[in-house]
Amino acid sequence: QVQLVESGGGLVQPGGSLRLSCTASVSILRIDVMGWYRQAPGKQRELVASIRRDGSTNYADSEKGRFTISRDSGKNTLYLQMNSLNPEDTAVYYCNAQGLLYAGTGYPTFWGQGTQVTVSS
């Protein structure tokens, strides 16, 4: 019902920056919560940052002050600006959407295909 497409990943040196994008197939103003998750090999998928319809944001402690989540409702696009990257940030980053207004009684979750971020010198 909702397709999410990520882009912007790649290889970056420690201390560098990347901006990830996630474009949704529906108006992001219909989505209750959107966020970025990441998963490194052998580890569980973890929340990086999220944003609600009212614009409030949440960040994991390790990302506070380095990452910024934002959105452009006109483009149906979610962004993650990542600065001061370190090797521990290396992972596949996934776009997530939870809750679709006017779609019924459920509270569905949608995932993008993921984009690889590698931080290495």
pLDDT at 39 over 80: yes
Tokens 């052998």 sit on residue: 42
Both tokens assigned to 13: 């040196």
Strand partners, 109: 98
- Other Cβ atoms less than 10 A from the Cβ of 14: the count is 13
Q: Which H/E stretch holds residue 97?
A: strand 91-100
pLDDT at 88 over 80: yes
Both tokens assigned to 64: 């506070």
pLDDT tens digit sequence for 42-74: 999 999 999 999 999 999 987 779 999 999 999
